[in-house]
Amino acid sequence: MDLRSPAARAATVPRTVACALALLVAVSGCAGSGVDGTPGADGVRDPYFPKLGNGGYDVTHYGLTLGYDPDGRHLTGTAEITARAAKNLSSFNLDLKGLDVSAVTVEGKAARFQRAGQELRVRPADELDRGETFVATVRYSGTPETITDADGSEEGWLKTADGALALGQPAGSMAWFPGNHHPSDKASYDIVITVPKGLTAVSNGELTRESTKNGRTTFAWHSAEPMASYLATVAVGEYEMKTTATEDGLPVITAVDPSQAKAGKKALAKIPDILEWAEYNFGPYPFSSAGAIVDREEDAAYALETQTRPVFPGPPETGLIVHEMAHQWFGDSVTPRSWRDMWLNEGFATYAEWLYEEDQGGDSAQDTFDALYEGEDAEDSEAIWDFPPAKPTDAAHISDAPVYERGAMVIHKIRRAVGDDAFYDIVQGWAKTYRHKNADTRDFTEYVEKHAGSDEAREKVSRIWGDWLYGDGKPDRP
């Protein structure tokens, strides 16, 4: 009980209210300044690349404005990254290897940043609320690096005879633009590249603008469908670029090094027919254009399924075109959730080669399976059983024979277990269900079991997982 007089009590009320209001303002001010925000993780803990990618946000769009001088090997870039905060963020990371960062802004305000290895940590002036969409702009320049993978292959920014070629699997894209470089975070892209007049700059998607001014030519490319960053590419050189179309009107954009033009023309002329075959087997083509880039053999040591525009070192054989076009469904549209799921890319693309050969009157898929199992090539046959397709031993082996050939053998075993009608329903349904999304091995096995048809077929595919997908060594053949 308050024993003071009414007057004394009344005199103290304003001061009490004032203190309460002051406390409320202080609390509100702290909340507005984002004291609840925490840093985003510096990696998504991929089983083989734990520092790749970043936590706390999802990128929805990359706007990359690049300038490249091949003579000086100098790249200038501005990356406008549109993302959504997945939590209250006090800071976040971007993957960027090499290159010099001159400025970073978030929502137009200067942001503090620091470098640590491949990490670019950004601290916005105003902390970001969960669910907030924001734009981070990074200005950078320098000589982009060529990265040597764990398996000894080269990626990143490769110097070519007349320019450059950017290849990103699994982590090379961080050599030429900052981003969330893990396949689990897909986004749309606008890539604008300015190069010396006389050179061509090719990228993914469709060419929306080409203009020349002051001795330099700008090429603007747009990719509306989601793309993992490892599938983004830039090729700068003296290409012969051509646009044709399939019977359904799908643009087919090809860029061929002049030294490869004669042989390359014959090879690339097969693309429309191969796409028609693939659509019949796998379902509708998942992107708004197709095509290819053909460079010199010495410019790259391997082909890569860069989205809508696979890269080939020299004129490709038909089987290789089939493989990389199949990746547009399996790998590009349906993208692995982690690099442990690589077999979902390569097993399907390799099996596409077997199916195409079979449909063209060559060896059946069963013939190819038998030859691999019986070990007609002893060295390759031994390598197939080194580890299960779904459990590569480490980052250096995610592109080894078990992932490709034994992965394809798993697909063939499924076909034999469920029958052709159910098999093609599964393949097309899988591509449709996860179109433009990410999926992992568990998603796939559950999908197959759900759509296998009979209980007997489900039992068969369940044994396939244990013996062929996850089992060590060479399985017994029933």
Rounded Cα distance between 125 and 462, Å, is 53
Rounded Cα distance between 321 and 145, Å, is 28
What pLDDT is attached to residue 264?
A: 87
Maximum Cα–Cα distance across the chain: 106
DSSP label of 194: E
* Other CB atoms within 10 Å distance of the CB of residue 478: 8
Residue 389's nearest CA partner among 372, 401, 377 is: 401
What pLDDT is attached to residue 38?
A: 97
Tens of pLDDT along the chain (478 residues) come to: 333 333 333 344 344 434 343 333 333 333 334 458 999 999 999 999 999 999 999 999 999 999 999 999 999 999 999 999 999 999 999 999 999 999 999 999 999 999 999 999 999 999 999 999 999 999 999 999 999 999 999 999 999 999 999 999 999 999 999 999 999 999 999 999 999 999 999 999 999 999 999 999 999 999 999 999 999 999 999 999 999 999 999 999 999 999 999 888 888 999 999 999 999 999 999 999 999 999 999 999 999 999 999 999 999 999 999 999 999 999 999 999 999 999 999 999 999 999 999 999 999 999 999 999 998 766 667 899 999 999 999 999 999 999 999 999 999 999 999 999 999 999 999 999 999 999 999 999 999 999 999 999 999 999 999 999 999 999 997 6
Q: pLDDT by residue (tens digit) across 417-470?
A: 999 999 999 999 999 999 999 999 999 999 999 999 999 999 999 999 999 999
Residue 270 in tokens: 């097969």
Q: What share of the chain is helix, strand, coil (3-state, %, to 5)?
A: 35, 30, 35
Q: pLDDT by residue (tens digit) across 22-77?
A: 333 333 333 334 458 999 999 999 999 999 999 999 999 999 999 999 999 999 99
What pLDDT is attached to residue 265?
A: 87
Cβ-proximal residues to 269 (8 Å cutoff; 6+ apart), any chain: none
**Which residues does residue 254 pair with via DSSP β-bridges, in sequence order?**
242, 292
What pLDDT is attached to residue 310?
A: 98
375-to-7, 180, 368 alpha-carbon distances in Å: 102, 42, 11
What pLDDT is attached to residue 33?
A: 42
What pLDDT is attached to residue 35?
A: 53
435-to-53, 285, 312, 335, 431 alpha-carbon distances in Å: 22, 10, 25, 9, 6
Residue 359's nearest CA partner among 266, 305, 245, 278 is: 278
What pLDDT is attached to residue 21?
A: 38
Rounded Cα distance between 305 and 68, Å, is 23
Rounded Cα distance between 327 and 287, Å, is 12
Phi, psi of 191 (to 5 degrees): -120, 115
What are the residue ranges of helices labelled H in 308-419? 318-326, 342-359, 365-374, 378-384, 401, 407-418
Rounded Cα distance between 474 and 249, Å, is 46
Residue 121's nearest CA partner among 222, 67, 30, 43 is: 43
